Structure 1
Amino acid sequence: MPTIAMFYGIIIRMYCSPGEHNPPHIHAYYQEFKAIIDIKNCELSEGKLPSKQLKLALAWAEIHKEELLADWELASNGELPFPIKPLQ
């Protein structure tokens, strides 16, 4: 699962496999916490992150929604997604 962004201790990854299950989503990691974020709605769909890190990850996903959806298409076809600019 390639890392597509890292910022403020948060790691964002996306699985790469043909037919990856919908809805389009990313995996966010922070210390021992793991979460799945729905790209289209920019909402937490599974797991947990501390409040501050969740807000940062959701804001980042909203800002980069189009890029994330493009990466999802690549990943769903078994191709590597492109890195996306982190929050600064």
Structure 2
Amino acid sequence: MFGDDHNPPDFHVRYGDYRCTVTINKGVVKGELPRKALKKVFEWMDEHHDELMANWTRLQNGEEALPIDPLR
């Protein structure tokens, strides 16, 4: 996530040479990611939805984001 990012709330994914942006509430993907990796990203996003939204709000308010357990 980036503090100066715009709505809708989203996060950025890097996987090898692949890059994409995923909206937190609707799961809209811009960019490319292998299907298996994208499935894991969606599972992680569902598990950490509240934390992602809280961090988005923090960043929009000029605060630091809190750590979220990484995708394993």
| TM superposition score normalised by structure 2 | 0.89
Output the aligned Cα RMSD: 1.2
Q: Which runs of 5+ in 1 are unaligned?
A: 1-13
Q: CA deviation at 1:86?
A: 2.4
More strand by percentage: 1
Q: CA deviation at 1:87?
A: 3.7
| Alignment map for 1:6-85 (pairs within 5 Å) | 14-17=1-4, 20-41=5-26, 43-85=27-69
Number of residue pairs matched by the alignment: 72
User: Could you tell me the percent identity over the aligned residues?
Assistant: 38
What is the DSSP-based 3-state SS (H/G/I as helix, E as strand, rest coil) of the residue aligned with 1:83? coil
More helix by percentage: 2
Q: Which runs of 5+ in 2 are unaligned?
A: none
| TM superposition score normalised by structure 1 | 0.75
Moved over 3 A (4+): none
Structure number with the bigger relative contact order (C-alpha 8 A, sep ≥ 6) is 1
